[in-house]
Amino acid sequence: MTAPSFAADRPGGTDRPDDTHRADDAHRADGAQRTGAGRTGAGRLPRPRPAYEAHTWKEIAHLLLNLPVAVFGFVYAVTVLATGGALTVTVIGLPLLALGLLGARQLGKLERIRARKLLGVRVEEPTPLPLARGGGLAQRLRMALKDPVGWRTLLYDAIRLPWGILTFCIVLISLFVLWPVLPYLARGLANVDRAMVRGLLSPSDELERRIAELESDRGVVVDTAAADLRRIERDLHDGAQARLVNLAMGLGLAKEKLLEDPDTAAAMVDEAHGEVKLALQELRDLARGIHPAVLTDRGLDAALSSVASRCTVPVTVSVDLPDRPAEAIEGIAYFTVSELLQNISKHSRARTASIDVWRSDTRLLIQVRDDGQGGARLDGGTGMRGLADRLGAVDGLFVLDSPAGGPTVVTAELPWRDRKA
């Protein structure tokens, strides 16, 4: 007996149930494929990626490097301190200690680089020791031994060994046992490292700022002195020296014509006499530009009144000083006012001006005011920037208030120092 065939009862002899099952299976397979494609992107597996972010791996690397770096730094610090301290009774003890401190500076530099690359800590580099300008060997040795940066770096290296061992062990064990919480551990330990670097390897902000200011001020003083010397040399060469050369030549020609043509010789002598007067006037002006005699003899009140009388604008002078300041401060105050009055004559188009000078505690204050057109700036090419730099070189201040349309008020402050008897 044969099983009844359902195909005989259907047109075409097609097995419909089997076809239906195969279509359903194909539909489910196609749906499953589409669903998988939607989850994995065109049927691909997700790309492998590191377990932690890049900054976490950098912190882990820094913490693992702590041990070898700390061992080297500890050995260096102990060797320098023990050797230098033990040999201080000999001639070579202090030089060895100074060299060790200079080497500690270099170790600190490497640590700052490591912290910057791996921890993202931005720590400014300390100012280099000016050993090249330190004078003799004893002065350089004293400068190296008093270097706070070197001593702080030795302290940093000495206390890092226990911390380096602890961080190395914690991170190494956590890589295999506590890896789910390792990023949090690494961040906490790395923050302690960041605090150590900032606390011991960063320069003293106030001290470094003051050192930078003094170095800048010294450069300004040197440049100003060189510029003044060039100005004096130029004025002598182009002014008085040229007139004296012409005077000598004129007197030589008059001497030759004295017997042959007395009238011409007399005229030439008269011309030479005029040249002498002009040369004396130029030398007097040059001497006044270096340091006027009236300032030395009679003080700031008389000197400012004298320079104000030569201004093209009527100037009122008020000086209220119980005593005369130091010569250097007095000279800077005079030349500051003189330069400001020249600017008023050349650029301000003012009708009146005033000068007020007084003392306030430990400061000498100067205020120059005019009712001109205003618009003066420190970078305007009128010498204001140079005045500000000169006052800054002696710990002074220079404040310019000059709105368009005026008035212009310049306030200068200088440190008060008593005049030596």
| Burial label, 206 (beta-carbon count in 10 A; 0-12, 13-18, 19+) | exposed
β pairing state of 363-370 and 397-401:
unpaired
Q: Which residues contact 16 (CB under 8 A, 6 or more apart)?
A: 10
Q: How far apart are CA 119 and CA 106, in angstroms?
A: 19
Q: How far apart are CA 173 and CA 189, in angstroms?
A: 14
Q: How far is residue 315 from each of residues 157, 288, 312, 355, 395, measured CA to CA in Å?
A: 65, 20, 9, 7, 28
Q: How far apart are CA 82 and CA 250, in angstroms?
A: 81
Cα–Cα nearest to 363, from 322, 324, 415, 328: 415
**Mean pLDDT by 10-residue block, N- to C-terminus, for the chain (421 residues)?**
38 43 47 45 62 83 92 92 83 86 90 90 79 68 84 91 92 87 89 90 66 56 58 62 73 76 79 74 61 76 86 89 85 85 84 90 89 80 73 81 87 85 58
Are 322 and 313 in contact by the 8 Å Cβ rule? The answer is: no
Cα–Cα nearest to 265, from 273, 276, 275, 253: 253
* Token couple for 257: 């014509």
Cα–Cα nearest to 386, from 226, 235, 220: 220
A 10 A CB-CB count for 194 gives: 17
pLDDT of residue 14: 39
Cα–Cα–Cα angle for 215, 221, 225, rounded to 5 degrees: 150
105 Rama sector, left if φ>0, alpha if ψ -120 to 50, beta otherwise = alpha
3-class DSSP assignment, residue 252: helix
* Token couple for 70: 């700390």
Helices (H) and strands (E) in the chain, counts: 13, 5
Q: How far apart are CA 74 and CA 70, in angstroms?
A: 6
Question: Tokens 């610090």 map to which residue?
Answer: 77
pLDDT of residue 268: 79
Length of the chain: 421
Quickly list DSSP for 221-238.
Answer: HHHHHHHHHHHHHHHIII
Which residues face 418 on adjacent strands? 325
- Using one digit for the tens of pLDDT, what is the confidence trace for 160-182? 999 999 999 999 998 888 888 88
Quickly list DSSP for 18-81.
Answer: HHHHHHHHHHHHHHHHHHHHHHHTTTPPPPP--SS-HHHHHHHHHHHHHHHHHHHHHHHHHHHH
Q: Which residues contact 6 (CB under 8 A, 6 or more apart)?
A: 15, 17
pLDDT of residue 39: 47
